[in-house]
Amino acid sequence: MYGVALSVAACLRAGTHVDVAWLVDPGDFVGLDPADAVAITPGGGRIGSLLAGALDGELRDLAGSTSGRLVPLTVGDVDAIVAGLPRGGEVRCLVVPAAALPAELWDLLVARQPVRLATRLDGDQVVANELVAHGQNVVDGEQVSNVVVDGETVTTTLWPVPTMLVVGTGAIADALSVAAAPLGWRVDLTNDTAVATGTIARLSATDMVVVAAHDLELAGAVLAAALGGEVGYIGALGGRRMQQARADWLAYRGITDVDRVHGPAGLDIGAETPAEVAIAILAEALSVLRRQPVGSPEP
């Protein structure tokens, strides 16, 4: 739900009806992220995705109720092929109007905080939604998202996956994407200013931005956006001249406090190859994030 939270919050502020759907039982599909959700607006507008869009048609038909439902859905073999899935199958989804969910849920999700939502059912009809005390949901030492059905209560536990936005292209950017995988971090690569700054607007203190771009306008705009947000770690690749040029670009625009920028990015471990530089950056980011405890609801 983290991916749709900002858009859903905007719809609610504007008084626009929006329904939110998420998987309760993945059925024949494995390896799905329990935190995935799709938001559906009047007229069939869609934000986010479930099963690569294979459920879009059925979910649009179900949207618009006043309370919400738990529904079985079928992904046909043809729809599965179009969506790039290996086969069709059966799933169950909750489809609930966003306005029927606790208002504070969206603030927590936008801030990328962990949440636990209890949805009460009467048969297949949703009768209540409430946030409940959030203890640690740990599997094999990792905090994870999951959905549990116990009788007529569906408990959806959501933990944000740390995101590292890498701006720029090249061997180090590619190496970061590979090296971050064992940590369970998500790595987004882009070379587009609008995409980068839009992504940064959704990041929190659990997330990271690494600037690997040589283009001064791109790098400067990204650093300005990161410094103006809540990003937990900001790293900038490049030598002293490049670092100074970026600092001058920011200063010309009134941004002089750049203490949060780690540049050149990475711990000094004598890294030479792109893979070694990536490890140095990840180690520095992890060190910085660990010194910044992120608030979460008390157990």
Domain boundaries, the chain: 2-158, 163-290
When mean pLDDT is compared across 24-28, 117-121, 122-126, 148-152, the lowest value belongs to: 24-28
Q: Does domain 163-290 have CATH number 2.60.40.10?
A: no
pLDDT at 136 over 80: no
- pLDDT at position 297 is 39
The percentage of residues in the chain with a pLDDT greater than 90, rounded to a whole number, is 62
Beta strands 163-167 and 208-211 are parallel
- Tokens (6 digits) for 210: 């690494």
Sheet holding 125-131, edge to edge: 45-48, 38-41, 19-25, 89-97, 69-75, 125-131, 115-122, 153-158, 146-150
- pLDDT at position 45 is 86
Q: Which amino acid is at 79?
A: D
Q: Measured between alpha carbons, how far is 32 from 55 in angstroms, rounded to an integer?
A: 14
pLDDT at 70 over 80: yes
> Which residue intervals of 84-186 are DSSP H helices?
103-110, 171-180
Check residue 91 and report its DSSP letter: E
pTM of the shown model:
0.72
Question: What is the pLDDT averaged over residues 155-178?
Answer: 92
pLDDT at 19 over 50: yes
Question: What is the pLDDT averaged over residues 31-54?
Answer: 86
Q: Measured between alpha carbons, how far is 100 from 275 in angstroms, rounded to an integer?
A: 47
How far, CA to CA in Å, does 212 sit from each of 18, 136, 183, 277?
38, 35, 21, 12
pLDDT at 211 over 90: yes
Check residue 182 and report its DSSP letter: G
- pLDDT at position 293 is 45
